[in-house]
Structure formats: C-alpha cells, structure tokens
C-alpha cells in the first residue's frame, strides 16, 4: 500500500483490491465444488484427465514419497499420485473448505483415507515446515492466487533440497491457427455449460478470464526462477492449451 491507496490485482478482467481477491475466489469454488469434477470432464471433453496423468508421469512418484498438492481440494491429483506411489502419502492444501469436503469424502470412498491429509491453508503462507516435502504439485490453481510470486517462494521453502515443483496450468494463448476458435469456445460456451451443470455461469466466466490474465509460459518460467528454483523447464500440450512447468530446489 502506498500513499494510503489499496494495492489492486485482477479478478478475471475486473480490477479489485488485493484484500478482496481471496474471498472472491473462495466464492467461486464454494459455488461449484460439488459439480467441479463433472464440469471439468464436460468442458474439456475428458482431456483434463490426460493432462493430469501427464503431470503424474512427470512427477514419477517414488515409493514412500510425501507429496504436497496445493489447490487440489477434490483430490484429483492426490489420488492419481497415491495410486502410483507405493507407500506414499499426500497432504492436500486448499484455501476452500468446500473443495476439501468433497476431497475427504472421495478419499474415504476410494480407500485413501489413511494416506491423504486435507488441510485448509493459503498457498501464500503454507502451514507446513520448511524443507519437509518430497514434491509439490499445483494443478489449475496458481492463477487464482492473489500474489503468485509469494506462492512460488512458499513452494520453494517447503521443499527438501533436490525436491521438485510441478505446476499444471492453462496458457493464455494457443497455436495461432486455433486461437480464434478457442476464444469463441471459451467465452461463448464454457459459461453456458457452467450454468447448466453447476447453476453458475459467472464463476466460469471468471475462470475463462483468469486464464487470459495468466502469464505466458516463458514469463511464468522466469517467475519460477526468480523464486529460487533451478533446472526450470516447461512443455505445452494440446496445441498450447495447457503447460506443465517444473523446477528443482537445488
């Protein structure tokens, strides 16, 4: 804050005070929590499952690995990891209690209750000890964080030396030949699907807009490096719709 003026940030295409964004994002996910995974299947035609599987392949889970999955309240990444890691366990940290509620129910239903911990917490101030995690993942969550730079610094803090950071996130641009059609689908169809499936078009309008406000993959890679990570890399999938970013705490 400078000169008595509140610091602002973006909430989709709107400009809001930084102090307001977390509660606005919380409202989005409170609204859609129970239908969130169904909506992901519909709006991506199921391809989000392949993207998440690719994230787990990149992570290459080891036996007894301890993963921190941030903004993964419903457990989609966590359960994939637990299936792949013999004896591994996961702490799922999400700022949204409703998403965590869904994840806890799913964990019990799938028999993962004793290997998955669900913690309500902020990516910018993680409730975990420094140098305590073997890996960190965040899928489609970091663009909702108020101060992305702070979340990256926190990711670095909680990882053990040699541990890796992975982020699966939408990219603001796809290959040029598909951009017009992608934009038309995003802005015209996704909010309508949100209305039909979750009863909430506005939340999906925000989610579409938030993708366009997120940094390009090269710019985001520079932000990861600035947080202290080495061996930073990224790769796109589905004609640039999403990217998997990684970095290592050296």
For 233, phi and psi rounded to 5 degrees? -150, 165
- Asked if residues 73 and 100 have their Cβ atoms less than 8 Å apart, the reply is yes
Sign for the pseudo-dihedral over CA of 166, 170, 172, 176: positive
Q: Above 90 in pLDDT, residue 241? A: yes
- Where does residue 240 fall: left (phi above 0), alpha (psi -120 to 50 degrees), or beta otherwise? left
**Alpha-carbon distance values, 38 to 26, 35, 105 (Å):** 19, 5, 16
pLDDT at residue 1, rounded to an integer: 45
pLDDT at residue 153, rounded to an integer: 98
What's the CA gap between 98 and 174, in Å, rounded? 32
pLDDT in tens, 133-189: 999 999 999 999 999 999 999 999 999 999 999 999 999 989 999 999 999 999 999
pLDDT at residue 5, rounded to an integer: 57
Mean of the per-residue pLDDT values for the chain? 93
Global confidence as pTM: 0.90
Which pLDDT band holds residue 2 (cuts at 50, 70, 90)? Answer: very low
pLDDT in tens, 91-150: 999 999 999 999 999 999 999 999 999 999 999 999 999 999 999 999 999 999 999 999
pLDDT at residue 195, rounded to an integer: 92
What's the CA gap between 110 and 102, in Å, rounded? 12
pLDDT in tens, 192-231: 999 999 998 998 999 899 999 999 999 999 999 999 999 9
């Amino acid at each position: 804050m400078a000169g008595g003026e509140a610091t602002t940030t973006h909430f989709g295409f709107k400009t809001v005070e930084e102090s307001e964004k977390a509660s606005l994002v919380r409202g989005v996910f409170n609204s859609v929590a129970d239908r969130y995974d169904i909506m992901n299947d519909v709006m991506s035609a199921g391809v989000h499952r392949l993207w998440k599987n690719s994230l787990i392949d990149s992570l290459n889970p080891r036996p007894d690995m301890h993963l921190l999955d941030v903004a993964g309240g419903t457990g989609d990444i966590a359960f994939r990891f637990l299936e792949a890691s013999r004896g591994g366990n996961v702490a799922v940290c999400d700022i949204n209690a409703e998403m965590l509620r869904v994840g806890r129910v799913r964990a019990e239903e799938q028999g993962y209750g004793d290997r998955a911990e669900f913690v309500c917490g902020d990516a910018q101030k993680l409730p975990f000890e420094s140098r305590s995690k073997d890996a960190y993942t965040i899928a489609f969550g970091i663009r909702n964080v108020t101060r992305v730079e702070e979340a990256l610094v926190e990711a670095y803090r909680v990882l053990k030396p040699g541990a890796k950071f992975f982020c699966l996130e939408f990219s603001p641009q796809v290959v040029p030949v598909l951009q017009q059609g992608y934009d038309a689908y995003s802005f015209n169809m996704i909010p309508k699907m949100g209305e039909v499936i979750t009863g909430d078009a506005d939340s999906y309008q925000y989610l579409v807009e938030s993708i366009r406000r997120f940094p390009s993959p090269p710019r985001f890679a520079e932000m990861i490096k600035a947080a202290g990570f080495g061996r930073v890399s990224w790769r796109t999938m589905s004609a640039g719709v999403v990217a998997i970013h990684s970095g290592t705490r050296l």
